[in-house]
A and B are shown apart, each in its own frame.
Chain A
Amino acid sequence: MADRYDVIIVGAGPAGLAAAIYASRARLRTLVLDESVPGGQMKTTHKVSNYPGFPEDVKGTDLAKAFSTQAERFGTQIRRAIEITGHDLSGPMKSFELDEEETVEAPAVIVATGAKPRELGVVGESKFRGRGISYCATCDGAYFEGKEIHVIGGGNSAVEESLFLTQFAKKVTIIHQFDHFQAEPVSAAEALSNPKIEVIWDSEPRAFLGETQLDKLRIENVKTKEVRELATEGVFVFVGYVPRTDLVKGLVKMNQWGYVETGEDMSTDIPGLYVAGDIRSKQFRQITTAVADGTVAALAVQKYVKAHGKAAA
């Protein structure tokens, strides 16, 4: 027998947890599934400075904990470190198989699986992952104490995480494909005036080189086409995100970049199937916009579940 819920939310990032807070406060039996611990991308962000309500910077992991504690206070069940090993989202009753051993179902599902760090797709990248290449500064920064490292990217994540990495590294060289940062001006200015940070503009990585450990990085200047190799003790990659759409591939409309198209109420073409947060086609992806999507999706789900039958309490 499958365990029955009113709504199952996949992904415990800001979109999923905001949806969970609203859904469980509306007395819907609410289950949140996450393959990791709650927080989504927020939990590995070392500090958040633009989330309203926090006059001082807040650690991403603390914000994540606050979101999940608030959702659980209203009765949301959060299942952590779960692997979804099967799913059927097309019919009126939607189901998930978890860790090959149990099944849960609900008439409404909100997919808030967000996005994951984009890999560069450069030669040597998979070989040196965990052997010199990293995608998480809070997790791995301390491995690079006193080292000379490189950061690839020039958006908010790249610049802010570079600043964080200067706590550990002797020198951080940012390699960016354009001649200016895409990051917010405040962080960009801070990085440019930091004595430990250097920037190589107009350049892209072409290969990661080494025997068993990463020790060199080949870059190309996209304007002059000059190619050179830099000695490195570590590389952090922050070059944007790709949507995590495995659950809904083939079921819902996606835009040319693979993000899911929704109605204004976060609905998809499948009745009862909603998506919220960074996975959705939209112009801006912030914690605040994810929270807004989650709120809207949960309110739409309340209406939907009311019309299609609530699970017995």
Chain B
Amino acid sequence: MSEFVHEITQGDFDAKVTASGLPVVLDFFSTECPPCEALAPKFDAVAEQFAGKARFFKIFRQGNKDLAKRLGVTGSPTLLFFKSGKELGERMSGEEIKRSAIKAQVESLLGA
């Protein structure tokens, strides 16, 4: 994981995601999930690009089942986008997540 991405647990969700002053991108990942491995370097790259403007967190699904359930996340990887405590925009899920698509969605969060 790069220095621009931090792993959180469900206990941190309110403080780090909901209460964040900056937009947040949250990545639910699992083990034995090749699409999650594939997403990681793209996620790191976009996180570095938006350093200081948006926050990028990862959360391990198996260890944080309650939050996954509460948010209705049923697949890995799934990206959720938050601004001012609210989830905004389309979730991204599965193997086909493109770096350019994450970037575009973060840009639209910053502009929104």
Contact = CB atoms under 8 A, between A and B. Distances in A.
Nearest to A214: B74
Interface residues of A, number: 31
Nearest to B76: A139
A240 B52 CA distance: 43
Nearest to A135: B94
Interface residues of B, number: 31
A132 interface: yes
B27 to A, nearest CB: 12
Contacts, number: 90
Given A37-B37, A80-B38, A143-B68, A136 B74 contact: no
Given A116-B96, A129-B93, A138 B32 contact: yes
Contact of B74 (A81, A83, A116, A132): A132
A158 to B, nearest CB: 18
Q: Is the interface of A mostly helix, strand, loop or mixed?
A: loop
B73 A139 contact: no
B95 A130 contact: no
A61 interface: yes
B34 A140 contact: no
Given A116-B96, A130-B93, A130-B94, A44 B74 contact: no
B5 interface: no
Contacts of B33: 136, 138-139
B84 interface: no
A36 B41 contact: no
A83 B46 CA distance: 13
Contacts of B20: none
Interface string A68-83: 0000000000001101
Given A140-B75, A143-B61, A36 B100 contact: no
B38 A143 contact: no
B86 interface: no
Contacts of B40: 81
Contacts of B73: 130-131, 143
B72 A131 contact: yes
Interface string B54-95: 000000011000001000111110100000000000011111
Interface in A94-141: 99-100, 116, 129-132, 134-136, 138-140
A212 B70 CA distance: 11
Which 6 pairs of residues, A with B, have the shortest CB-CB distance? Answer: A130-B93, A36-B38, A130-B75, A43-B34, A81-B41, A139-B33
Interface of B: 30, 32-42, 45, 61-62, 68, 72-76, 78, 91-96, 98-100
24 contacts: A36-B37, A39-B34, A44-B35, A64-B34, A83-B42, A85-B100, A99-B45, A116-B95, A130-B75, A130-B78, A130-B92, A130-B93, A131-B72, A131-B74, A132-B72, A135-B94, A136-B95, A138-B34, A140-B75, A140-B76, A143-B61, A143-B68, A143-B74, A234-B74
Given A37-B38, A130-B94, 5 more contacts: A37-B37, A44-B35, A83-B98, A129-B75, A143-B61
